[in-house]
Amino acid sequence: MSDLDLLHFEQLKNEVQTQYLENYTPSDDDISKWKGIDIIYFQEDLRKRAKGNISEKSFYTYFKTSPVTKLPRIDMLNILSAYAGYMSWYDFKKNHLFANEILSETDEPDGEQIGELERIAEKSPPADPQEKNSETRAAETKKSTEHLPEKSDLQISTTDNQQINKTGSSFSTYDTTEQKPTFSILKKYLWLGISAILAVSVGLLGFKDELFSRKFYYSFIDADRNSKINAELQVQILKDNESPILYVAKPNEPFVYTTKSKKLTMVVSSPYYRTDTIYRNLETAPEAENIELKPNDYAIMLFYYSKSLKDLKKKRESLNYLISDNALIYQVYDNETYGVETMDKQRYINLVTLPSTSLENLQVIETKDDKAGKINMIKFKIATDEKK
């Protein structure tokens, strides 16, 4: 063996690789990086075209290492040369002579070898560009491997150091952990599907409130006058195991509430209207609704008397009748030195019946009445006091 023969063998490996790539698409174009299913397909194509076989151990020995330090047997060289389109290893070298290279006569195949190579060439089918797809070839490979002897050694680790027991079969074993190209395609589309599902899930989580929530519109009506309430209302939303959530309903505007809940408990209060608790089944409730509130007549009268400067004597008599003798009366101050001042019934009557522009800013915060229909608690504030 000469160094030129080793160079010729490297040339032959390149042509074998080129021949295979014309009709197949392995995992890598470099033959030294083939493994598993790529080697199986190559062995099948070699048997079909050159009527010969190369074991997996030989493939790893001569194709995984470059450059090689030794040549394969002459029969393997002849099979690989036939696969590349030449009559024999001698014919391949003759067509790839280096400068000043002279072939030895001993390399030329004898008559028996020539006859055998001619029979191989006659039986080898021409290259067909429309090869079977990967699924069909995978099925053929699976069918072939089903006839392998049970004692065949499977490649499970580093192949360069693995010992392989020779058997009577010419078929080589392969790594069962290798996946078919179809599996790679399925895996790719599987990941795309999972990514799409995750993207949709994130979108649903981000916009779930808008997607699954409903809006409800509540307009509050004065039950006695059948007109919209021209005053702010305090609206408390009650939920199980949660503290109340406070909202403010603006005058002459509907209160808008957005929720995903199936039920609603709402407490509506105002200094001039009776506190009312409203329950709704939101699965059957309409989206827009008018809710009547009963006026607090005592609070309204107190407000009216504090604003009117006419007939003070009659106003004092009415207040004296409406307010209980034991009533608790509070004046609230919202200034830097916040405080609450208490006063008796007569002092309150004197305050709200004396002519004063400050009464224009008097606000009744809360009132309560007893069983006899008398006002027994008043809480109020005068806005002008906040600036003093």
| Among 63, 72, 173, residue whose Cα is nearest residue 164 | 173
Model confidence over 99-134: pLDDT tens digits? 777 776 666 665 555 555 555 545 545 544 444 444
Model confidence over 232-268: pLDDT tens digits? 888 999 988 889 999 999 888 899 999 988 889 999 9
Confidence of residue 306 (pLDDT cuts 50, 70, 90): low
Q: What is the DSSP letter of 294?
A: -
pLDDT at 29: 92
Confidence of residue 227 (pLDDT cuts 50, 70, 90): confident
Amino acid identity of 305?
Y
Helix ranges restricted to H, 251-311: 297-307
Model confidence over 30-52: pLDDT tens digits? 999 998 889 999 999 999 999 88
Q: Give the lowest-confidence range in 210-214, 274-278, 372-376.
A: 210-214
| Among 335, 332, 385, 323, residue whose Cα is nearest residue 359 | 385
Confidence of residue 386 (pLDDT cuts 50, 70, 90): very low
pLDDT at 75: 92
**Number of CB atoms found within 10 A of residue 124's CB:** 15
Higher pLDDT, 290 or 167: 290
Distance CA 173, CA 263 (A): 69
Mean pLDDT score of the chain, rounded to an integer?
77
The continuous run of DSSP H or E covering 303 comes out as helix 297-307
Predicted confidence (pLDDT) at residue 137 exceeds the cutoff of 70: no
Would you put residue 226 in left (φ > 0), alpha (ψ -120 to 50) or beta? Answer: left
Q: Which residue has the tokens 């009963």?
A: 294
